[in-house]
Amino acid sequence: MPTNLRVTRIGVLTGGGDCPGLNAVIRGVTKPAQDYGMSVLGIQDGFEGLVNGKAKELHNEDVSGILAIGGTILGSSNMGDPFHWSEEKEGKIEITDKSDAALKNYKAWDLDAIISIGGDGTMHISNKLSKMGINIIGVPKTIDNDLEATDVTFGHDSAVYVVSMALDRLHTTASSHHRVMVVEVMGRYAGWIALNGGISGRCRYNLTSRDTFFMG
């Protein structure tokens, strides 16, 4: 994004699967932006909304009280890649490039920039859109905390909390039946949920598997 650009109007969208903290990020974007005199457009259903022209103005009252609400108030989709757009025509699925429609709506909405919240796929699409001239800032979304040069990604703490609550409940069963239990959690290629969840749930971490606990 050019350093001399005066930003007065921004868009925000959430792409891919849902994740704890999405609404908190939307709120964190909208309220400060309006404090600085910017207007905020909420693009609905991820990149589908950018292609199809679905959006709504976001005001202070729209993002107040949403911190504890799961999901995303804007809706999301992991099927709306503008560069790989699927449409059914005469009973067949055709793949087309709708990136021009995304750029057209970006200009029609008079946006200076877009805040794109999502995972790998969303960031990949955002990078390609930026090369078309769309000023776009990516906010990486991952409960796995597998982002380089970032201490904690949003959603990770919530995931660890859920794991620790599950382990608390399993402790009594394991103790009552004198058993060792194996608990498998999410984590993809990183073991941070397993490690932090295991520590908070008072378990021993199995160093041979990045997302398995041993309870005893």
123 and 22 within one domain: yes
Phi, psi of 211, deg, nearest 5: -145, 45
pLDDT for residue 209: 40
pLDDT band at 204 (very low <50, low <70, confident <90, very high): low
Question: Does residue 61 carry a pLDDT above 50?
Answer: yes
d(CA 15, CA 75): 8
Mean pLDDT (the chain) is 88
Residue 69 lies in a domain: yes
Please indicate, yes or no, whether residues 53 and 79 belong to a single structural domain of this protein: yes
**CATH number of the CATH domain containing 18:** 3.40.50.450
Q: Closest by alpha carbon to 155, among 13, 7, 24?
A: 24
Residue 146 confidence (pLDDT) above 50 = yes
Helix, coil or strand: residue 13: strand
Assess whether 174 and 78 both reside in one domain.
Answer: no
Name the residue range of residue 161's domain.
Answer: 156-215
Residue 215 scores a pLDDT above 50: no
Give how far the C-alpha of residue 53 lies from the chain's centroid of Cα atoms, to the nearest Å: 21
Please tell me the distance from the alpha carbon of residue 174 to that of residue 203, in angstroms, as a whole number: 12
pTM recorded for the entire structure: 0.80
The three-state secondary structure class of 1 is: coil
What's the CA gap between 161 and 23, in Å, rounded?
Answer: 18
Please tell me whether residues 102 and 179 are part of one structural domain: no
Last residue of a domain, one of 83, 107, 140: 140
Last residue of a domain, one of 107, 140, 173: 140
Q: Dump pLDDT digits (tens) for 184-197.
A: 888 878 889 988 88
Our answer to whether residue 144 is catalytic in this structure is yes
Q: Which H helix or E strand runs over 199?
A: helix 192-200
What is each CA distance from 216 to 169, 170, 202, in whole angstroms?
A: 13, 10, 10
pLDDT digits (tens, 9 = 90+) for 49-58: 999 999 999 9
Are residues 113 and 24 located together in one domain of the fold? yes
Region 12-16 average pLDDT: 94
18-32, 64-78, 172-186: the lowest-pLDDT one: 172-186
Q: Check if the beta carbon of residue 49 is closer than 8 Å to that of residue 13.
A: yes
pLDDT value, residue 207: 38
Domain check: are 86 and 179 in the same one? Answer: no
Which structure tokens are listed for 83? 């560069």
33-51 exposure pattern, b = at least 16 Cβ within 10 A, e = fewer: beeeebbbbbbbbbbbbbb
Annotate 99-115 with b (16+ C-beta within 10 A) or e (fewer): bebbbebbeeeebbbbb
> Does 172 share its domain with 117?
no
CA distance 169 to 163: 10
Same domain, 36 and 96: yes
Kindly name the residue from 81, 144, 146, 211 that is annotated as catalytic. Answer: 144
Q: Which amino acid is at 136?
A: I
The one-letter code for the residue type at 21 is: G
Domain edge (last residue) among 140, 164, 183: 140
Is there a domain that residue 147 lies in?
Answer: no
Q: Would residue 24 count as lying in a domain? A: yes
Q: How many domains does the chain have?
A: 2
The answer to whether position 150 is within a domain reads no
